[in-house]
């Protein structure tokens, strides 16, 4: 089965491919075509945005589509940046600026109050047939400085609960086994893709 992944982010394509292969899901994952329209993430939830993107990808390609929306919720910031994670600094996808802004906002927050969660909603749309969305959450806390080079986004400052390393310090397969995206995609694979 050919499935389109609704993203132009090469990191996500690699990560999703690894996770689905590890689950034994036999799909040919193809990237979103370059000429596909951008989808405004106008929903107030990760699930809503994931379905918006999956619907658009399915409509453009006629293929079943997977899309995810993910981000970081920080308790000390009342759940923000949340769905605004990718554009927290005002520029969409500027990981360095987003990370710098969040570290500055958290600079005076002590260790005991730095709890955070990585959240991922994964949408699955089969054109004209069905739509589903599932969610994965990884609990953790925020480090005071960036560490590691194996991740992207907020990975260099996110320390999963029970770990001393940031998700950017973990090896890819270690991160996949616990990550919010890994949780959501494994659930999606078991519930819908393996059928």
CA distances from 23 to 6, 39, 68, 183 (A): 20, 29, 18, 11
Sign of CA dihedral 151, 155, 161, 163: positive
| Annotated domain spans of the chain | 2-193
Instruction: Kindly compute the dihedral angle of the four CA atoms of residues 36, 94, 12, 8, in this order, to the nearest 10 degrees.
Output: 20
For residue 100, what pLDDT is reported?
96
Is 69 catalytic? The answer is yes
Domain spanning 2-193, CATH architecture: Alpha-Beta Complex (3.90)
Mean pLDDT for 120-135 is: 94
Residue 108 has a pLDDT of 96
- 195 pLDDT band (50/70/90 cuts)? low
Q: What is the DSSP string of 73-97?
A: EEGGGTT-BGGGGGGTTSSTT-HHH
**68, 69, 155, 176: which one is catalytic?**
69
Half-sphere exposure of 142 (CA within 13 A, CB side): 26
User: Can you point out the beta strands (E) in the chain?
Assistant: 2-5, 28-31, 65-74, 115-126, 130-142, 158-160
- pLDDT (average), residues 162-187: 93
The predicted structure's pLDDT at residue 79: 97
- Cβ contacts of 68 within 8 Å, gap of 6 or more: 7, 12, 16, 50, 53, 120, 121, 122, 123, 181, 184, 185
What integer pLDDT is reported at residue 20 of this predicted model?
Answer: 85
To 10 degrees, the CA torsion angle through 15, 20, 26, 28?
A: -30
pLDDT tier at 44 (50, 70, 90 boundaries)? very high
| Percent of the chain surpassing pLDDT 70 | 99
Give the global pTM: 0.90
142/193: higher pLDDT: 142
């Amino acid at each position: 089965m050919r499935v389109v992944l609704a993203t132009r982010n090469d990191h996500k394509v690699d990560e999703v491919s690894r996770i689905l292969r590890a689950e034994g899901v036999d799909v040919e994952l193809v990237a979103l075509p370059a000429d596909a329209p951008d989808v405004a993430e106008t929903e107030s939830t990760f699930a809503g945005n994931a379905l918006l993107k999956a619907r658009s990808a399915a409509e453009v390609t006629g293929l079943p589509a997977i899309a995810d929306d993910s981000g970081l919720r920080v308790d000390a910031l009342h759940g923000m940046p949340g769905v605004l994670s990718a554009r927290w600094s005002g520029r969409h996808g500027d990981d360095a600026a987003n990370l710098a802004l969040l570290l500055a906002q958290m600079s005076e927050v002590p260790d005991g109050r730095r709890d955070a969660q990585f959240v991922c909603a994964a949408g699955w749309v089969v054109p004209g047939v069905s739509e589903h969305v599932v969610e994965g959450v990884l609990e953790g806390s925020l480090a005071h400085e960036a560490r590691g080079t194996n991740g992207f986004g907020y990975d260099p400052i996110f320390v999963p609960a029970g770990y001393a390393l940031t998700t950017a310090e973990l090896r890819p397969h270690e991160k996949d086994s616990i990550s919010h995206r890994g949780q959501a995609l494994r659930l999606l694979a078991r519930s819908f893709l393996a059928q």
